[in-house]
Amino acid sequence: MTRTILITGTSSGFGRETAERLARDGYRVFAAMRDIAGRNRSHADALRSQKIGVVELDVTDDGSVDRAVASILAEAGKINVLVNNAGIASVGVTEAFTANQAKAIFDTNVIGLLRVTRAVLPSMRREREGLIINMGSVLGRVTFPFVGIYGASKMAIEALTDSIRLEVSQLGVDVVEVQPGAYPTSLYSSIQRPADGDITKSYGEVGQIPDAIYKTFTSMLQGKDAPKPHDVAEAVAKLVGQAKGSRAARTVVGTSFGADKINADIAPVQKAVVDGLGLGHLEELA
């Protein structure tokens, strides 16, 4: 039977590449995005032309998430794989971001991931089968100055991924994470900047560093040797195709900035903690 896959944040970047890649592999793919009848209409039409289902889904809205998941379950009967990809980035002096800006970033990157996961997990638990792939970042493991809020949201995904993985392992559901490095996606073109310009100015030369970082990365990512978002789609496709119980908990894609080493160093510590709690059996997927 053809497996059904739901991917969030598919108007461009990793989500779009992943939807197209998995559809070519013969999976039944539902690509989720906001405003499919408005500003994202051309993106939605392009995906539909490849026989990919398109659903309206705003990860920051409970009702939108519930309606989208319900419509897929009514049409396909089940969701075998969820790829939590939707996200927004930020760069700037951390103090210069308002609390509302920080809330908005976390609402998409962290709470949004939780919303969609909560909507999909009940059907996976009933079937005692499923795979959730969370799109993290190497910045969930290492810290860049001036990317504190985005990095904090990605570090939160680390905790959520590990915790949910252990909690649902005995229910037949696998939860893993992909940690991309820097890639040329719309994440950079729509990056959030601090609203409090006065604070940024008060930092003097230090306050100018975020602009330099942004220009350096965008220039690097526009060059002929820039990494391709297709690499991330390939990593997701590989995870989807792997046998149950054989998937790595984390997959670094692209320049790791040391995240792969941190993953390796932390793994035995995390295992010792879980074993020490007497919960080692949760580390094995049923």
Widest CA span in the chain? 61
Laid out side by side, the sheet with 250-253 consists of 53-56, 28-33, 4-7, 81-84, 130-135, 173-180, 250-253
Q: What gap in Å lies between CA 58 and CA 60, rounded to an integer? A: 5
Please name the residues in contact with 41: beta carbons below 8 A apart, sequence gap of 6 or more. 35
3-state secondary structure of 99: helix
Are 154 and 136 in contact by the 8 Å Cβ rule? The answer is yes
Please name the residues in contact with 252: beta carbons below 8 A apart, sequence gap of 6 or more. 138, 179, 180, 181, 259, 260, 263
Are 195 and 98 in contact by the 8 Å Cβ rule? The answer is yes
Catalytic: 150?
yes
Catalytic residue among 27, 150, 183, 188: 150
Give the angle 104-109-115 at the CA atoms, nearest 5°.
95
Ordered alpha helix ranges (H), the chain: 13-24, 41-48, 62-76, 99-106, 112-127, 148-168, 186-189, 197-202, 209-220, 230-241, 259-276
Are 97 and 147 in contact by the 8 Å Cβ rule? The answer is no
Q: Mind telling me the catalytic residues?
A: 150
